[in-house]
């Protein structure tokens, strides 16, 4: 059985202008110890998908349909104490921009021991010992455990966040833009830290980023989101070597190649559609150089186009007719 299986997940927000369909029917699966990347431009629903799995949506957000099967239970239906027990103990999340969200008036050690004491019902000394081990694991000198967040650099605060996410030995860690606010050198360090921890602890991981190189390095599987849908899914190598869906092709082409040259593709000009009044057909149609009439009328389904490689485009023929 898969560790996490998301089927037909729809997450909507109530807004003054109407219902905003931020995640509109996505499917994916994650095995124990597997890392999946979730990519796509700003506003396509990556964070909303992550928050749905954790059931941490803002007050105007709700799961409108689908199933989130985690270790045999449907997260969409779990509530109360049972939900609180799963959060942090089994699934944890490194929030987007979280390194700036540490409580400034609390020592970092205390912020790590809190969930350990709460979830594992151990005393402070045991929790502190574990917090020090976690510091060591993420490459911070354990002697700094009593310092305050402002005494750490941005990269180190991100390491503290990773330590916090690992505090209760979860099976699944969701990392939402874990390196976006960091400079390139520190980014590389955090990426290799995440990669090593994932292997060492046999963690399942969902890494969210608009930076494809981060995902290529950390994840064996990639899902590309566009306007609330997954438009392509395959191994990272496949997505990079043989992207099928025009949006994915645009994303890959927009990326600096190994020689550092950046090619801006004409196909990706324009903006994603308004998710309150999403278009009927393919959501990428109005930006797509390949679009024909059918694309404006009919929504393409995500179909297997090569073994293990799925894409949603009217012009990519399915593997099995």
Ligand X SMILES: Nc1ncnc2c1ncn2[C@@H]1O[C@H](COP(=O)(O)OP(=O)(O)OP(=O)(O)O)[C@@H](O)[C@H]1O
By the criterion CB under 5 A, which residues form the site for Mg ion? 46-47, 96
100 binds ligand X (CB under 6 A): no
Interface residue with ligand X among 92, 96, 198, 236 (CB under 6 A) is 96
Interface residue with ligand X among 10, 32, 210, 306 (CB under 6 A) is 210
236 binds ligand X (CB under 6 A): no
| β partners of residue 296 | none
Place of tokens 């005494």: 151
47 binds ligand X (CB under 6 A): yes
| β partners of residue 223 | 38, 233
Within 8 A by CB and 6+ apart from 80, the residues are none
CA neighbor of 68 nearest in space, from 22, 14, 10 = 10
Q: Which does 68 bind (CB under 5 to 8 A by kind): Mg ion, ligand X, none?
A: none
Write each residue from 5 to 44 as x if it is in contact with ligand X (CB under 6 A), else as -, in one continuous string.
Answer: --------x-x----x-x-----------------x-xxx
Q: Nearest approach, Cβ of 97 to ligand X (angstroms)?
A: 9
Write each residue from 260 to 299 as x if it is in contact with ligand X (CB under 6 A), else as -, in one continuous string.
Answer: ---------------x------------------------
Q: Report the distance separating Cα 226 and Cα 68, nearest Å.
A: 20
> How is the beta sheet containing 61-70 ordered, strand by strand?
18-30, 4-15, 61-70, 73-74
Interface residue with ligand X among 48, 179, 221, 244 (CB under 6 A) is 48
Within 8 A by CB and 6+ apart from 108, the residues are 102, 144, 145, 147, 148, 149, 152, 160
Which CB, 46 or 314, lies closer to Mg ion?
46
Q: Which does 20 bind (CB under 5 to 8 A by kind): ligand X, Mg ion, none?
A: ligand X
Angle subtended at Cα 166 by Cα 122 and Cα 155, rounded to the nearest 5 degrees: 125
| Mode of pairing for the β-strands spanning 204-208 and 35-39 | parallel
222: left (phi over 0), alpha (psi -120 to 50) or beta: beta
Q: Report the distance separating Cα 151 and Cα 26, nearest Å.
A: 41
Q: Nearest approach, Cβ of 174 to ligand X (angstroms)?
A: 12
Q: How many residues are listed for the chain in this entry?
A: 321
Which CB, 22 or 311, lies closer to Mg ion?
22
Within 8 A by CB and 6+ apart from 196, the residues are none
175 binds ligand X (CB under 6 A): no
Interface residue with ligand X among 46, 87, 132, 309 (CB under 6 A) is 46
CA neighbor of 9 nearest in space, from 50, 58, 59 = 50
Which CB, 187 or 209, lies closer to Mg ion?
209
Q: Nearest approach, Cβ of 210 to Mg ion (angstroms)?
A: 8
60 binds ligand X (CB under 6 A): yes
Q: Which does 22 bind (CB under 5 to 8 A by kind): ligand X, Mg ion, none?
A: ligand X
């Amino acid at each position: 059985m898969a560790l996490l299986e998301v089927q037909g997940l729809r997450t909507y927000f109530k807004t003054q202008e109407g219902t905003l369909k931020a995640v509109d029917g996505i499917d994916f699966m994650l095995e124990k110890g597997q890392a999946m990347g979730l990519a796509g431009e700003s506003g396509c629903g990556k964070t909303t998908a992550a928050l749905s799995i954790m059931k941490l949506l803002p007050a105007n957000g709700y799961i409108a349909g689908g199933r989130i099967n985690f270790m045999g239970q449907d997260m969409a239906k779990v509530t109360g104490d049972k939900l609180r027990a799963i959060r942090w103990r089994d699934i944890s999340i490194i929030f987007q921009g979280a390194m700036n969200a540490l409580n400034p008036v609390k020592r970092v050690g205390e912020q790590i021991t809190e969930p350990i004491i709460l979830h594992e019902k151990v005393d402070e000394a045991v929790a502190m010992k574990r917090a020090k081990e976690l510091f060591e694991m993420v490459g911070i000198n354990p002697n700094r455990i009593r310092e305050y967040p402002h005494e750490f650099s941005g990269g180190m605060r991100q390491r503290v966040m990773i330590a916090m996410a690992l505090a209760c030995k979860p099976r699944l860690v969701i990392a939402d833009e874990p390196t976006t606010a960091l400079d390139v050198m520190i980014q590389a360090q955090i990426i290799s830290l995440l990669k090593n921890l994932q292997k060492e602890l046999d963690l399942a991981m969902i890494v969210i980023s608009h930076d494809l190189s981060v995902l290529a390095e950390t994840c064996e599987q990639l899902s590309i989101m566009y306007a609330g849908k997954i438009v392509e899914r395959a191994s990272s190598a496949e997505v990079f070597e043989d992207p099928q869906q025009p949006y994915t092709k645009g994303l890959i082409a927009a990326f600096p190649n190994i020689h550092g040259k950046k090619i801006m593709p004409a196909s990706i000009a324009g903006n994603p559609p308004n998710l309150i009044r999403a278009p009927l057909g393919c959501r990428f149609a109005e930006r797509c150089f390949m679009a024909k009439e059918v694309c404006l009328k009919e929504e393409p389904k995500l179909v297997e186009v090569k073994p293990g490689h799925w894409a949603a485009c009217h012009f990519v023929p399915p593997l099995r007719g």
